[in-house]
A and B are shown apart, each in its own frame.
Chain A
Amino acid sequence: MRELAYREALNEALAEEMERDENVFLIGEEVAEYNGAYKVSKGLLERFGARRVIDTPIAEAGFAGISIGAAFTGLRPVVEMMTFNFAILALDMVANHAAKARYMSAGQLSCPIVIRGAGGAGGSLGAQHSQSLEAQYVHIPGLKVMMPSTPHDAKGMLKTAIRDPDPVIFIESEVLYGMKGEVPEEEYLIPMGKGDIKRAGKDVTLISWSRTVHTCLEASAKLAEEGIEAEVLDLRTIRPIDKDLIRESVKKTNRAVVVEEGWPWASVGASVAEFVARDLFDWLDAPVGRVHQRDIPMPYAFNLEPLSLPSVEKIVEAARAACYRK
C-alpha cells in the first residue's frame, strides 16, 4: 500500500471533502498563501480558490466565532488553529457558543464545524507552545473530540469530523505531521467514538491516544522482551470514549495503564482511569496505573523537557507495577 505523511493524509481528507461538498471551506491563519504553518493545507488555495481557502488576521476568537455563525446557517467550516495553545483564545466561542447553540435553541440550530490544529509538545518550544489541552474540550457537553495517531486514522477521522453534524474538536500532533504510514487509495471513514487496537496483548492494557500511542507501542516492545504482552488501545475519539473497547480489553488483561501527554489533574486520563476503576472494578487485579506529563509548565532546557513528558521508561515501569513485577 502507498505511504503518506500524516500531514499529507490530512491534506487529502480536506481536498476530498471540499471537492465533495461546496459548503466545506478552510479558514485560519496562514492556511492559504503560506500553505499552512505545518503545510497541511498545501495546494488547497490553488485548487479551490480564495473564496474557500481563507487567510485570517491573528484573531482566533474572531475567526472561530465567524465560522460558528456561518455553521448555524448550514456551511461546514474547517477552522485551522495554528496550535491549540492559541485555540484557547477562542474557548469562549467554542464553549459558550458552539457547544450550547443546539441545546439553548431546543434543536433549532446545529453547528457542523471542525476546529483543528496541532496539539502537544513539539520539542524545545517552551511552556506556552507545548501544551496538551484536550481536557478543556472533553469536559464540555455539546462537543466531540478526536485525536488521531497515524496517517491512516488522520485521514479517515478528519473526513468523518467534517461530515459530522456537530462541533468537532480535532487535535493533531505537532510531532506526527512528518510521520509516514499506509493510507489506502480508496475512500474510507473512521467512525466517531470508535477506538482501535494498535497492538494485541493479554497481560496489561495500555490506553492512550495521539502521540503517546507510539510511546506505548515502543514500551510494549520492551515489555515483550520481559515476557509481558501489552495490548495498546488507541481511543482515537476522546469524547465520547469507546467504553466497549476498553471493557473488552480489560476483561481479558485485568490490568490497565492510562497514558496521556497532558497534565494529571482533571484530565482525560483521569476520567478514563476513573471509568475503568468504577466500571471494571470486579475485573481488575491491580490498581489502574497512570502515566502523564509532570504537573508543571513545560521547561525549555533540553535535559528537562524529556523528564516532564511521558516516556517509554515510565510506561514500562507503570506496566510492570500493574503486573506486580519489579
Chain B
Amino acid sequence: MAGARPGDDRTAPLVHTAGPTPRSATVLDAAEVSRALTRIAHEVLERNKGPEGLVLMGIPRRGTHLARRLAERLAQVEPAFDAEACTGSLDVTLHRDDLRRNPTRTPEPTRLPATGIDDATVVLVDDVLYSGRTVRAALDALSDLGRPRAVRLAVLVDRGHRELPIRADHVGKNLPTSTAERVFVHLAETDGEDAVLIEGPTERHAEGEER
C-alpha cells in the first residue's frame, strides 16, 4: 500500500516544511493578509447588501481557516451575523478531476453550516485561485449538498493561469506569476505565521503543495 507521499500536505501535514526555501520572497506579510481579509469582508457585505442569507464555505485546509476569519470579521461589522452558525467547510477531493495526476489525497471533513445552504448565498473561500479546477470541483460538490440561491468566490490570492472559465468575486491580492513560480500561503493556524510567499523556478522539483 503506497502511503502518503512526502509533500502532499493534504495527506501529510507534517511535511509542509518542505515548501518555500529561504530564496522565496514575501508578497504579503501578516498585516497585509489581515487588511486583505478585512477588505474582502466589507466587499462581501456590500455585495450582499448586508449579512442576510450569507454562508461561508471554506475549502480545506487553508480555505477553512480563511472562512472562519472572514466570518469573524463579518460578525464584527454586523453583530447580527452568527459566525459559528453560518460557516462551514467543503471538501472537494472526491469531486476533483485531477485525482489521477496526484498522489492519493485523504478527504477532509465537509461541515455544513447549521443553517444549511439551500437558498443561501454561499461564499466559497480558498487561499489561492490558479487553474480553477478546485473551484469547479467545489461547485459540483456544493450542488450535491443543496441548492444555494447564489455562489460567490473569495480568494486570498489570484495568481492567474486559469484553465476554466472561472473568476473570483473577491480577491485579496492579484499576483501575476509565471507557471514556473510557486506560491505558498502560510496561515497562523497551520503554519505558525500569516504570509504569502512566491518562489522562482528551481532545479529540483520541490515538493509541497504548490498553488
Q: Do A and B actually bind? A: no
